[in-house]
Chains A and B, each alone.
Chain A
């Protein structure tokens, strides 16, 4: 199996989780899958616990998510998403399916243009995500916490407001402010 690495996998610009996911996609590599599990399972569980799940339910969703990662790896495209973004989307789908007994509708791909599959697109995406990571690190701690709450907490703003003892409007306007700050940091980092 040596030399079987795909062109995508060799791209050094890609983060290590994304490269592991490509090894799963292209070679059904179980060791790479176990490494992905070791990284994501405890983080996904933390997200689900934040969302109000009990221990057992959180682990059910983690197991479902990682099983889906294995089954759907062929659909992963590093030009469109990092491993973390792709796995986050799957985890939310599974969480909605299990918590709400609803299937979250997903956008179709009909409007995607072929050029996005360009070999350079995955490197371009990796660079943008790198800038996004830097911007998130520059964000003041309290605004970063607001964004963590916006993306990682439970399935309703009402739950977040109750957990924090804040009015719903306050939660929403704090999220708006933090997003605005993040956008400005990104815009500044784009300037030469």
Chain B
């Protein structure tokens, strides 16, 4: 886990995660990277420390007089299951960090075959973007493609390289509409990545454009 990560989250993304401003898909990816990266864990702690200091110095707003007695009366109440999940997160399992296990709801991924041995498991799809796992066989290139919107790819197993560099476990590649690339999985083992986008991917090779909405890629 402590191997040195070389491609990190953009700094602004950590600030936005700290402030709760990322969409669900992006916040799963950010929390998963932080689970694997000591540097970004420290950065996030620094953002929260700064936020905490500003909270301390915020001009207070009067609260209702009965708020404290109502709260004290509830202290021994057991926590609802939903509350426990909000505060405890999920444990990592195998190659999947806790945040990914949470998005998987604790179950193994349900893979769909996309062709050429490439598989995908959709974890979340909503107005704020989509989140999926991608598995590419060792040594296999992914057909050349571009991106609508912004896409973050976090490596969970194996590695890949493309025109911009090499990425291994813990590394994040940030792609936007300007990047057209052909990522190729490293030899050895399948490359499994978590990909979060704020728009659907455009493939030009495997699946005809017409079918893209059906496959949600």
Contacts and interface: CB of A to CB of B under 8 A. Distances in A.
A66 B87 CA distance: 12
Interface stretch (B38-46, B107-115, B133-141, B142-150): B38-46
Contact of A67 (B21, B35, B74, B88): B74
B71 A110 contact: no
Contacts of B97: 107-108, 110
Given A105-B102, A172-B12, A62 B67 contact: yes
B87 A84 contact: no
Contacts of B89: 105-108
A43 B88 CA distance: 24
Nearest to A182: B50
A107 B55 contact: no
B58 A59 contact: no
B14 to A, nearest CB: 10
A58 to B, nearest CB: 8
B44 to A, nearest CB: 7
Interface residues of A, number: 73
Contacts of B90: 105, 108
Interface stretch (B26-34, B153-161, B173-181): B26-34
A84 B50 CA distance: 9
Q: How large is the interface on B (under 10, 10 to 19, 20 to 34, 35 or more residues)?
A: 35 or more
Contacts of B129: none
Contacts, number: 199
Interface in B1-29: 1-2, 11-12, 15-16, 18-21, 24, 27-28
A131 B30 CA distance: 27
Contacts of A81: 45, 48-49, 52
B146 to A, nearest CB: 23
A117 interface: no
A104 B35 contact: no
Contact of B71 (A63, A92, A128): A63
B19 A176 contact: no
Contacts of B19: 92, 150-151, 153, 155
A33 B47 CA distance: 25
A184 interface: no
Contact of B49 (A38, A47, A95, A129): A129
A102 B61 CA distance: 26
B86 interface: yes
B58 A111 contact: no
B37 interface: yes
A85 to B, nearest CB: 4
B163 interface: no
Contacts of A148: 54, 58
A63 B98 contact: no
A117 to B, nearest CB: 14
Contacts of B67: 41, 59, 62-63
Interface of A: 17, 30, 33-34, 37-38, 40-47, 49, 58-59, 62-64, 66-68, 70-72, 80-90, 92-97, 102-108, 110-113, 128-129, 132-133, 136, 147-148, 150-153, 155-157, 172, 175-176, 179, 182
Interface of B: 1-2, 11-12, 15-16, 18-21, 24, 27-28, 31-32, 34-38, 41, 44-56, 58-64, 67-68, 70-72, 74-75, 77, 79, 82-83, 85-92, 97-99, 102-103
